[in-house]
Structure 1
Amino acid sequence: MCAIRSYYGSKSSRYKYVSPRGVMACSQRRSAYSSLPIHSSFKASESCLVRKCSGSSRLLRGVIYCNPGFRHQLLCCRRGSYLMGTAPGASQLRRVQPAGRAETLHSAELVRLSQFLTHQHINFLYQIWVHTRVVSTLGPLEWILNTPRHHRVHHGCNLYCLDKNYGGFLIIWDRIFGTFAEEHKDEAIIYGLVHNQPSFNPVFLQLFYNVNVIKKWKAMNGWQDKLAAIWKGPSWLPGKPRLGATEDKLDIRSREKYDMKLPVWINIYLCLHFVALVIVYQELALKYSDMTPLAVLGFVTYILVSQTVIGMMFDNRPHTCIFELTRCVIFVFYVHKSDLTLQGRSSITLLQPFFILSSCFWILQTFRVLHTEVKKIKKE
C-alpha cells in the first residue's frame, strides 16, 4: 500500500492522500510513534486521521449513522423492479454508517482502519453489478461468489425466496448456515416485499415497517413474546420457528408494477432538481469540516427533506406543490442569508437563480391549485 485516504475525505488540506513520507511525518508529530518502522506508521496515520475529525464531522456521521439506512430491499421493491441502480441508490447514506464501527474497531486495535474501509468499499462496488437480470449464470463461480443469479433470489418475495441468500460478496456463508436457495427457472421471481408498499417516498419506506412491528409488539402477550416480535422474523408467531412457519407465509406469484404516469415536464424538472441535490451533497462532503455543527445539521436535514419531497412528487401526492414551494424558498433564503463561499465561490450559489425560477413557478401553481379547490368548495 503506497497511499491511504481518510474515509471522511474531502479535497481540503486536512484530508489528502498521504504518502509514506507524509505518514512518517504524521507519526513523527506524535512522540509515541516517533521510533516506529514504516509498516507501523500506517497505524499512526490512521490514528491521526480519526482524531482530526472536527465536531461538525462527528455530527454529520452521527446524524447519518443513527439512520438505519434506506434498505436496498425497500428501494428495489417500491416498483417491483430489479435494477443496477438499487445498490448505489440505497447506499449513499449507508456508506457513511460504517465510520462509527470503523473507529470502534480501530480503537480496540482489532482491525486497521484502512483495511476495514478498503473491504467495505470493495463490498459496496461489488453490489452494483449483481443487481441485474441479464446475467444468467457464472458457472463454477456460483459455488463461491454472490452472483446475479443468487442475489435475484434475495430480492424475491416468492415463498422459496424469503430469508435467503444474504451474502454480499461470498455465497459460501449462506451455504454453510442454511440460508441458501437456488433460483427456480420455472418460476418467475416477483421482486419486492411480501407486504409491498408502493411509494417513492424514502421516509415512508424507511418507517412504515417499524409501524407494523410496533402494532405486532402491542398485540403480543407477555414480555417474552413482545421482545420476540421485534427481533424474530416478520412471519413469526408465538410457538412457531424464529422465521415463521411455511404455512403462515404468503406466496406471492404476481404483482402489478408501481409506475405513476407523470407529465414529461415534471420528469425533467425532477431530474434537474435531483442533479441540484447531488451538487448540494457534494458541497457538504467537501466543506463540512469547515462548517459549524448547526450548518451541517441544516444541510443534512435539507437533503433528507428534498429526497422526501421529490418522492412525493413522483407519487403524485396532493398538495405536493406547497411542499416543493417551501423547499425552494428555504434554499433561496438560506443561500441569501448565509455565508456559503467558504474560502471561494460556492457552487451552491450558482443554483440560486434556478431555485428562484422554481419558486416563482410553484407560487403560480399553488395559487392555481388553491383556486381550483375553492371552486369545488363553492359548488358543494
Structure 2
Amino acid sequence: MQTQTVHTTINLEEFLTKLFAKLISQKDQFALWRKPHSHTLNILIDQTGITKRVIPQLESLEEGFIIHPFLDQDDKKAFFLEKSVFIKINLAENQLETYPDEKILSEKFEEAKEILKNFFTEKKDKKTSHTKLTATAKEDFIELVEKGIQEIKEGKLSKIVPAKVKKLAYSDSFDLVTAIQSMLKAYPNAFINFFHLPEVGTWIGASPEVLIQTKGDQFHTMSLAGTQRARGDNPLKSVAWTQKEIEEQALVSRYIVDCFKRIRLREYEEIGPKTVIAGNLLHLKSDFKVNMKATNFPQLGSVMLELLHPTSAVCGMPRQEAFDFISKNESFDRSLFAGFIGPVNIEEETSLYVNLRTAQLLCGAALLYAGAGVTEDSDPEKEWEETELKCEIIASHLNLKELN
C-alpha cells in the first residue's frame, strides 16, 4: 500500500480509534511514536504478515521500526517492522500529512471503540492471559536492593539497577487512544510510543532516554540517571541533587566515554550534566555528540549500539557483572523493558530509545516495569518509592486499578 501527501484536518481520537481497530482486527503489526519536542505523530504499518527479526546493523536496514529486548537472544537479533504504510499527523494542526491511498477506516467510531476495548478486556487463550505473571512484592524488591548494596560494598559492583514489575487491571473507563492523547500532552520531552506485534505483544510508553541517534553526519547519545519528584511551580530552579545521585549519573557518563576510548574515538562533544524534566520526575542528563564525517566513522551508530546496550542506566557497572547479577537474582523476565525501540532510517534518521516508563498491555491487565539505580549509599525504601513513581507515569494515563 502506497501513501500520498495530503493535508486533511482530522479528529485525532476518531482517526486513531478506527485505525487501531482495523489494524488489530487484521492482525497487522504497527508502531506509533512522537519524538521529544516534536509536533509530528508517526504511524508505521507492516502488512507483510511476517514477524521479522534482524541483526541491528542500522546503516544497512530498510526503513522500519526496531524492537530489541533487554536480554540478547542467542542470534542477537531484534524484531523489525518493515514500512508498508507510513502515516504522519501534524498534532499542532490535527492534520494528516501522509495517508494511505486505500480506505482502511471502515468501522464506525463507536464500533471501533468497542473492538479496541474488547481486545484488552475479553477473555482469550492462555498465551495472552496475564494470570501466570505475578507482580514483584515490596519485600522481595527491598531484599534485592539490599543484596545489590552488599555486592557493591564487597567491591563486586559499583552500581546495580534492579527492576520490578507491577500488575494492574483495566478500569471501566480504560480507553487506549485517550491514554495516548493524554501522554502526548503530558510528556512533550519524552518519546511517546505504542506498538503492536500479534506474535510478540502490545506495549505503550513514554521514554525519556535516547540510546543513539544518527542523522546525516551527526551522532548523539546521552547519559541519564538520578531521579527525584518534580516539586513546586519551577522544579528546575529549586532542585538539589545528592552526592549519590550525582555519582550515579557520572558513572553512566564515564561508561560512554570509555566506549569512545575503546574504539579510539577522541573527537566528541560532551554537554552537561544538567537537570531535565520528564513528566513529574527530574533527572540529570549529559549529551554526547560526534561528527561521523569528520571522524571518518560512518558506522558509529551500529558500533556504539552494540557497546552501549544494555546501558549502565538500566543494568549497572561493571556491565557484565551487573548483567549476571540481574539474570541470577531478578524473579521475572524483563522482556522488552529496558531494551531499545525506535524508527530506523525513516526520513534519513535513526532514533533509538531505551524502553523505559513502559507498560505491556495484556488481556485483563497491564504490566508496568521500573528500575532504580542502586549505589553504596542507596536507601532500599527510597528505591522502592522511586519505582512506584516511575510506574505511576504510565498508570495514571491508562486509568488502571488494583487487581481484585
Same fold (TM over 0.5): no
What TM-score do the two structures reach when normalised by structure 1?
A: 0.26
Q: Which has the higher strand share?
A: 2
Q: Which has the higher helix share?
A: 1
Compare relative contact order (CA 8 Å, sep 6+) and give the higher one, 1 or 2.
2
What TM-score do the two structures reach when normalised by structure 2?
A: 0.24
